[in-house]
Amino acid sequence: MVKENWTTANIRINLMKEIKKTIESDVGKKSGLTNPNQFVDTAIRDLINKLESKRFSHQNTYDDKVRILDNKIGKMGDIVTIFLRDEFKKGFCDYCESESCVHVKYMWELKDVVKILKKRGFHSPYD
């Protein structure tokens, strides 16, 4: 029976054996992953994050804005602008009209940008 808020996916028996073996190994124990569900959840999230990060690329940073190319907008991708609002200490995406969209999330993954934002007292909605 499937737990509430869960669904099933088929995994090859050999892969499941590898997952269990990895969880039980020293490296697996250090990872904190204690069961196959947790392992698969983490692996899939990491892959989604990896694929999502290819979706975006940082274009430039100005005093008042950060510009990010989003390859999922339109056929060729488009640039979104995140305005840096000093009065709120937050970034605001013009495309999503949001302070907490995928573009703002990506901006907070850019180490060089984060350094500047933190110096200016900005805070991430993802902390």
Residues of the shown chain interacting with Zn ion in the complex, contacts defined by CB under 5 A: 93, 95-96, 101, 103
Give the residue with the Cβ less far from Zn ion, 83 or 95. 95
Give the residue with the Cβ less far from Zn ion, 90 or 103. 103
Give the residue with the Cβ less far from Zn ion, 39 or 106. 106
CB of 69 to Zn ion, least distance (A): 12
Sign, Cα dihedral of 113, 116, 120, 121: positive
d(CA 71, CA 85): 25
Whether 52 and 71 have beta carbons less than 8 Å apart is answered as no
Sign, Cα dihedral of 68, 51, 99, 113: negative
CB of 77 to Zn ion, least distance (A): 13
Give the residue with the Cβ less far from Zn ion, 41 or 78. 78
CB of 47 to Zn ion, least distance (A): 22
Instruction: Give the count of beta carbons closer than 10 Å to the beta carbon of residue 104.
Output: 22
CA distances from 63 to 4, 84, 103, 125 (A): 47, 8, 18, 20
CB of 68 to Zn ion, least distance (A): 8
